[in-house]
Structure 1
Amino acid sequence: MHVLIAPDRFAGADTDSTDSTTSTDFTGADGTRRIGAALVAGWLRGATHDTVDLCPLSDGGPGFAGLLAQACGWAPPDADGVLGVAGARTAYIDSAVALAASSQDGSAPVAAQIERAIAAGATRIVVGLGTPTDLPGLPDAGAGLLAALGVRGLGARGLGGEAPRPDGLGEVLDRLRGIDLVAATATDIPLLGLHGASAGAADAGASTREAAQQREREIGRVADALWQARERARAASPSAGLLALAPAQAVMVTPRARDLTALPGAGAGGGLGFALALLGARLLPGATVYAQVVGLTARAQSADLVITAREDLDGASFHGSGVEQAALAASGYGIACVALAERSMMNRRELAAVGLSASYPLRPDGAGSQRAESVEARAGAVAERVARSWSPSWSGAAPGPS
């Protein structure tokens, strides 16, 4: 039997390993890699006759470029989180790498990644964006990025002090002419509102409610000022700001600033989604973008069974996840998809409704918060048991739980 093993991001494994020699990886890819390796090893212990295709998944958040390189067999991204594909003019950017190294500059370091990709000759740039909390501190609506790209009147982060008066946006749009920008967003939250970037940062404990409300007012002013600047740039050059818009965006007639702030994914990366949309980027679900690049559907078609894994499995976290993409790929060919999860809160009916045939817990019953055994060890042990249940032990037998 041929098994596709496609683990989603498993950040918990980054710190749970009992191997103290394992290097720390702040990009978020290391945990997924280790879980994937553990699942493969466990599966082959339980079903030595099977063949396995390992395809780690990502939703566009931390680890995006590194996992993409592994899944496609490409050379790894550079130290700045920029992945260039040999023979192609597409660059993939892991914004979390730049943001993790920045504590005071907001989203500004992502500009250097984009500039690096352009300098390398990329004509299509895909930027992976995580959740609002991937940006240290509070969201800045991409003001730091825009200032670093050359938009004046924003200051270092474009927030606080006097009302922003951005200038130079037209020149930045001219420089990006001919560049197809794509934002692969790990979340579909908007920039503003009760479910926006500032509120999300407060919900995650990154700030107080009062600080989040103040930041909401600040980025609201910045967003409005930037929209007006883009309108002025478009009036001076009708093609400016429409260079890479998705068809649905390109047909909008004189949209207001809130049309961009309300886009799904505008709040991703602390508001980087909004800034990239302002520059003409398409905001797309990161898990979908990733699945298309790695050829997940074709890989599922070649498999007899799909195994996926995730830390938390529930209705809310399932949407927009790599696990969702694995289930969709499997269901398209009538293939069973089995999920392994640290914490699963979906019953059998809910699992069936989203295309999952079964789920297995990685945490033993009654284990509570105890983590004496590493996540990798538990993942390997569970994969071995699942393999013995689902993998036929004789030629021609159909896969399924015994």
Structure 2
Amino acid sequence: MSVIVVAPDSFKGSASATEIAGALAEGWRSERPHDRLVPAPMADGGEGTLDAFAAAVPEAVAHPVRVTGPDGVPIEAAWLLLPDGTALVELAATSGLGRMRTLAPFDAHTIGFGEAVADALAAGATGLLLAIGGSASTDGGTGALSALGARFLDAVGRDVPPGNRGLAALASVDLSGLVPLPHGGARILSDVTSRLLGPEGAAAVFGPQKGAAPSDVPVLEAGLRRLADVLSTSGAAVDPDEPGAGAAGGTGFGLLLWGARMAPGAAAVGDAMGLPATIAGADAVITGEGRFDSQSAAGKVPAYVAARAGEAGVPALLVAGAIAAPTDGFADAVALTELAGGAAETMADPHRWARAAGAELARRFRG
């Protein structure tokens, strides 16, 4: 009997990490029924991070909160209070793409995320873990900071409209009312290392995912640049070139301005779950994500899991919807698109093809 840890990320847009882990385990058991499968669904700061922490830390308490959604409509969400007094707030749950009825690249905002953070602070949170993947907006984090007491003003002292659209009229920033960080500080959980501006920045790389047309991207970029310039002239600057400043439509930039610090999302989730010790006691670990590409090495779940497996001398196996980069560091790899015959077939039934991938890996495993 072999012990197999199953630790994938979600396949974004098609299946949660828990669903993918279950399907992989089911497929593996169909070929090797006597092995022990240990589910350990993962996240890296994006959608599913709150659920991953809740599963890993049973003593954590969910706090429901009603916030302003990214399109201005009130929504129900929650943040998680961990046993040590740290609050985990997930942007995807409050201001994420999944909360939009219609994509609005210029008007979507992060106000709800800031409202959830404020609620956690009012409840006495002593530290913050801020999971910022999956944002619907490119507002530079101004919505979140507004909810925490900052003001972003036009030339006559009026609050600019929320979202990136308002940044075009930005003339000054008033941070005097911004609530202080809790004494335990705030860590930003993200798998993105992009700068705020430029061809690899928030607007260029992630704007199209949020509904921006090619002609919209320079306008979104200009708004973010104006935000950085106004902050620089006000003396409240944060470096827009800092890795992670471009995460979540520039929300990383806004949170860095507040005083939060970047932290690898996958490592924070995995360490909270005790995943390194779990892997060390296994014969193999299966990980994966929806698309394995050149960005996957930059702190995403498969890279983190493979690194921990390598340290323990345990083979790491990769499953991804599509594989578009070398799989060095993995003992074996399967792409669902190859099993299904194409991307459309994979997306139509990801659970079926994840089961097929689990079975294929089990047939090839020699542990």
Select which of 10, 23, 28 maps to 1:43. Answer: 28
Give the superposition deviation at 1:35: 0.9
Secondary structure in 2 matching 1:342: strand
Secondary structure (helix, strand or coil) at the match of 2:253 reads helix
Equivalent of 1:371 in 345, 350, 353 = 345
Q: Partner of 2:271 in structure 1? A: 292
Structure 1 pair 296/365, CA: closer, same or farther in 2 (3 Å)?
Answer: closer
TM-score between the two structures when normalised by the length of structure 1: 0.77
Once the two structures are TM-superposed, the CA of residue 129 in structure 1 deviates from its matched residue by 1.2
| Structure 1 residue 376, shift from structure 2 partner | 0.9
Q: Give 1:165's aligned amino acid.
A: S
Question: Is residue 141 of structure 1 aligned with residue 127 of structure 2?
Answer: no
2:209 is the counterpart of 1:210: no
What's the counterpart of residue 178 of structure 2?
Answer: 172
> In the aligned structure 2, how far is the partner of 1:345 from the partner of 1:221?
35
What is the total number of aligned residue pairs between the two structures?
338
Residues 103-142 of structure 1 aligned to structure 2 (within 5 Å): 104=107, 106-130=109-133, 134-136=135-137, 139-142=138-141
Other-structure match for 2:77 = 80
Residue of structure 2 equivalent to 1:32: 17
Corresponding position of 1:25: none
User: TM-score normalised to the size of structure 2?
Assistant: 0.84
SS in 2 for 1:210: coil
- Decide whether the 8 Å contact of 2:317 with 2:332 is kept in 1: yes
Q: Equivalents in 1 of 2:92, 2:25: separation in Å?
A: 27
Q: Tell me the distance in 1 between the aligned counterparts of 2:339 and 2:47.
A: 30
Relative to structure 1, is the Cα distance of residues 229 and 108 closer, same or farther in structure 2, using a 3 angstrom cutoff?
Answer: farther
What amino acid is aligned across from residue 80 of structure 2 in structure 1? L
Deviations 1:65-104 (A, max 9, x none): 112222444557445241112x321111110111134664
- Answer whether contact 1:189 1:267 (CA < 8 A) is retained: yes
With over 3 angstroms needed to count, the CA separation of the structure-2 counterparts of 1:324 and 1:118, relative to structure 1, is same
Match in the other structure for 1:277: 256
- CA gap of 1:337–1:105, structure 2 versus 1, over 3 A, is closer
2:313 alignment counterpart? 334
* Alignment gaps of 5+ in structure 1: 15-30, 232-256, 392-398
Contact 1:70 1:76 in 2 (8 A): no
Q: CA RMSD in A?
A: 2.5
- Name the CA distance, whole Å, in 1 between partners of 2:8 and 2:207: 29
| 2:189 counterpart of 1:190 | no
Superposed counterparts of 1:307-322, under 5 Å: 307-322=286-301
CA apart distance, 1:192: 1.1
Deviations 1:371-393 (A, max 9, x none): 286211221133123224326xx
Q: Return the alpha-carbon distance in structure 2 between the equivalents of residues 76 and 10 of structure 1.
A: 26
Where does structure 2 lack aligned partners over 5 or more consecutive residues?
A: 65-75, 154-158
1:351 matched residue in structure 2 = 327
Question: 2:12 aligned with 1:11, yes or no?
Answer: yes
One-letter code of the match for 1:126? L
List per-residue Cα deviations over 1:278-320 (Å, max 9, x = no partner): 0110012222222222222111111111111222223333432
Describe the superposition over 1:229-249 as per-residue Cα deviations: whole angstroms up to 9, x where unpaired: 454xxxxxxxxxxxxxxxxxx
Letter matched to residue 84 of structure 1: L
Residue 272 of structure 1 aligns with an amino acid whose one-letter code is T
- Please give the per-residue CA displacement for 1:2-58, whole angstroms capped at 9, x wherever unaligned: 1111112212434xxxxxxxxxxxxxxxx2221111112222232222222211111
C-alpha change, 1:307 and 1:140, in structure 2 (3 Å) is same
Contact 1:185 1:285 in 2 (8 A): yes
Q: Match of 1:152? A: 151
Question: What amino acid does structure 2 have at the position aligned with 1:33?
Answer: T
Check the 8 A contact 2:339/2:356 in 1, yes or no: no
Matches within 5 A, 1:240-279: 257=237, 260-279=239-258
Distance 1:230 1:385, change over 3 A: same
* Structure 1 equivalent of residue 302 of structure 2: 323
Deviations 1:180-209 (Å, cap 9, x if unpaired)? 111111311111112111112344472133
Secondary structure in 2 matching 1:264: coil
